[in-house]
Chain A
Amino acid sequence: MAFILDELEKIEKGSLAPVYLLYGDDLYLEEEAINTLSAAFVRGSEGTVEKQTFYGTEKNDDTFIQSLVNIGMFSSRQIVIYKELPKLSSTYRKPLLKYLDRPEPSTLLILTSGEGQKSALFSSVKKHLSVKTLSIWSPPENQFPALIQRKIKKNGLSITPDALEALVLSTNDSLSHAFAELEKISVFIADKKEIGIDAVRTVIGGEKSFQMTDFLTAVEKRNLHDAIHICLTLIETGVDTPYFISSLYSFFANVWAFKQINTKTLSYYPAELRRQQYERAYNNYREHDFKALFTLMLEADLKAKTMSIKNENLMIPLIYQLLK
């Protein structure tokens, strides 16, 4: 999948499709995509361009469909944005699909969809020939530093390496989160041109507060980086090794047990979300020897209770051995 910002750079240089479908969960990328597409459309226009935004949650689908066929009085070209496409009323789905058969060159139609990508409408629109799709899912964490630096540079600022690392670690759940925090930091530093670690810590309050569930999610995904990072953060907040190990033991026991027991006939039936997590985890660890994993945890637990050893010195090797 091409990265959205690379796609947008191409759009800035090249020609536009008449209809775009943006799908994903990152609000920053959605806004960035809409702004880039709009700017490219305006650049290619003479005179004014009218911009109208509609929301699937509001009951004005009639006006939305009407706007696609109307010719504006005060501008000959228009940008029509419809957010939350799957919420478009069923009455207006056929007229929309009909419009997509012959979209107007004087109109740039941008459709967005956060959730609901399994809907029939989404599928129909996505496979339409006139529609160009752009994924706006939040990018993986390893792309955050470059994106944040690009944004900072655009704003005429710079950031120290440690401040950048702290910002990424604290806001790695979504790009919109990262940029929202960056906005606050930019206001905080006022006239300064460089963002330092102190500014990041003051504004964001240091590390994101993690829960044990975040740690177990990282373990489930076998994401060594996140698992170690969250573990260290939790240790800083006072969580000790026995609690980690009991949580890990319980987690792996459930993962193992889940696949051993016929869930349809026996009473063991975890809640849906848990069940899904155990299933995913089992798929990630199916090649592992669960007996060896339990042995590793028991040994670490014994060490924690009998030896004077720092939590991180015990946990980091354990996590590595479990997840490798």
Chain B
Amino acid sequence: MQFSVDKNNLLSHIQKVSKVSPTRSTMPILNSILFDIKENQLTLRSSDIEITMNATLNVNGKEDGAVALPTRIIYDIINEAEEGELILSSDTEGACTLKSGKGVFEIMGRPGDEFPSLPKISNFNDVEIENSTLRRMIQKTIIAVSKDELKPALMGVLFQIKRHEIRTVATDGHRLVCLIRQDFQNEAYEGEVIIPVKFLNLLLGYLDSEGTTLLSISENHVKVELDSTVIYSRIIDEHFPDYESVIPKDNDKIISMDLNSLLSTIRRVVIFSNKTTHQISLSLSKNITKISTVNQESRTSADEEVDINYSGDDMVVGYNAEYLKEILRNVDTNNVILKLKSSISACLILPEEQKENEDFTMLLMPIRLNE
């Protein structure tokens, strides 16, 4: 294999694909990037088995071939190389030579055919989504994705796609976020898939503010093509829990309050909370809520009142302040609406006004107050 290429052109593509390379892997080859040259087109590929990314760029190809080069070394040397043209060549055993300016650098790689091939996928269903919509749907729901590997179904975002509606849902069993868009048109596909959070995070980095993205969904994979880059991901083949059954319909205690006042009060109070449970309590009474915490271990406590619009019965409810803060930061209206029923049931958290053609619901479970 031999080709020459502009340093910055190659570097920008390596930066893209290196995001998929795992930092640690039981398969050493995955800590490499595949360089595959065919005529004047170089394909870079990285994979962690679950996700595979291909990026192509034009180069001056001299000899076709493929080699897998260690991600860290190839990234570092190309980053530090002099500006201008780079010449890369390798033999069939994977020994690679990089020439840059007056420098010659030898890198030991692996033969290209040892690198995992692209997933074999057929029967894609294409779903076209506006970038702004897709970005919002991912950003709003991703905060509730679980990190618990024992609950794989919750380690991604559920996409429910209908002809005139698209929903994204994520939950970790303590929080749930559901965003529904009704301004969506799609004639090709109806179904649902759980897409891994790593893929969605990658995708966020590539979404332009305008235009549309084509999500290609097959039985086991999802694929996105973005200019010269293609990202493949396995779909989480698990049963997503029946989230609709846990969204309460009869929470009759409705509280409206200024979002910033609430958030800043929580930020102050949480400083004094138990560092394990981050427990705070909201004592609701007519038009006022007292946010409190007591940490008996460090013998600290905090109380602060916030004005609210509420006319229901008095009630005390406990929350994990970190979860509550994260949920509230996800609200993008000046006021936030909390709908409760009891101190041990789910609280609905809603923006003061829904955006046009959108239904944005968040749910937070309380914690037991024991302090």
Residues of A within 8 A of B (CB): 50, 52, 62, 65-66, 69-74, 91-92, 94-95, 98-99, 102, 104
Are A71 and B365 closer than 8 Å at their CB atoms?
A: yes
Roughly how many angstroms separate A104 CA and B366 CA in the complex, as a whole number? 14
Q: Contact check, B277 vs A72: say whether CB atoms are below 8 A apart.
A: no
Query: B173 touching A73 by the CB < 8 A rule?
Result: yes
Docked-complex contact A70 and B297, CB < 8 angstroms: no
B349 to chain A, nearest CB (A): 14
Q: Is the CB of B365 within 8 A of A69?
A: no
Chain B residues whose C-beta falls within 8 Å of the C-beta of A50 in the assembled complex? 173
Categorize the interface residue count of chain B.
20 to 34
Complex-state Cα separation, A102 to B367, whole angstroms:
14
Residues on the A chain within 8 Å of B241, using CB: 74
Instruction: Let me know if B344 and A99 touch, CB within 8 A.
Output: no
Residues of A within 8 A of B345 (CB): 71
B176 in the interface (beta carbon within 8 A):
yes
How many Å lie between the Cα of A71 and that of B246 in the bound state?
13
Known interface pairs A66-B320, A69-B279, A71-B368. Does A95 touch B174 (Cβ–Cβ under 8 Å)? no
Asked if B367 contacts A69 (CB within 8 A), the reply is yes
Question: Closest Cβ of chain A: how far from B170's Cβ, in Å?
Answer: 12
Q: Within the complex, what minimum Cβ distance (angstroms) separates B341 from chain A?
A: 13
Which of A92, A98, A102, A104 is the most central at the interface, judged by chain B CB atoms within 10 Å of its CB?
A98
Q: Are B176 and A66 in contact (CB under 8 A)?
A: no
Nearest Cβ distance between residue B209 and chain A, in whole angstroms?
34
Q: Does B264 have its Cβ within 8 Å of any Cβ on chain A?
A: no
Are B363 and A95 in touch, CB under 8 angstroms? no
B365 touches A95 (CB 8 A): no
Q: Does B122 contact A (CB under 8 A)?
A: no
Can you name 5 extra interface pairs (CB under 8 A) apart from A73-B176, A99-B370?
A69-B367, A70-B365, A72-B365, A91-B276, A98-B296
B150 to chain A: which residues have CB within 8 Å? 52
- Please tell me if B346 contacts chain A, counting CB pairs below 8 Å: yes
Cβ of B370 and Cβ of A70 under 8 Å apart?
no
Q: Are A94 and B365 in contact (CB under 8 A)?
A: no
- CB closest residue in chain B, given A52: B150
11 contacts between A and B (CB under 8 A): A52-B150, A69-B277, A69-B318, A69-B367, A71-B344, A73-B171, A73-B176, A74-B173, A74-B241, A95-B274, A99-B370
Known contacts A65-B277, A66-B276; is-contact A71 B297 (Cβ 8 Å): no
Cα A65 to Cα B297 in complex, Å, equals 15
Contact assessment for A73 and B246 in the assembled complex, using a CB-CB cutoff below 8 Å: yes
Nearest CB in chain B: distance from A62 CB, A = 6
The minimal Cβ–Cβ distance linking B75 to chain A, given in whole angstroms, is 31
Kindly list chain A residues whose C-beta atoms are within 8 Å of the C-beta of B320. 66, 70
A148 to B150, CA, bound (A): 34
Q: Determine whether the beta carbon of A72 is less than 8 Å from that of B173.
A: yes
- Chain B CB within 10 A, most for which of A52, A65, A70, A72: A70
Are A69 and B297 in contact, CB atoms less than 8 angstroms apart?
A: no
Shortest CB distance B176–A (Å): 6
Q: How far is the CB of B265 from chain A (nearest CB, A)?
A: 22
Quick one: closest B residue to A94, CB to CB? B297
Query: Which B residues between 295 and 332 are near A, CB-CB below 8 angstroms?
Result: 296-297, 318, 320
The complex places the Cα of A50 from the Cα of B150 at a distance, in Å, of 12
- Tell whether, in the assembled complex, residue A71 and residue B366 are in contact, meaning their CB atoms are under 8 Å apart: yes
A65 to B365, CA, bound (A): 16
User: Complex: how many Å from CA A199 to CA B277?
Assistant: 55
Across the A-B interface, the 10 shortest Cβ-Cβ residue pairs: A69-B367, A69-B368, A71-B365, A65-B276, A73-B365, A73-B173, A73-B246, A74-B241, A95-B276, A69-B277
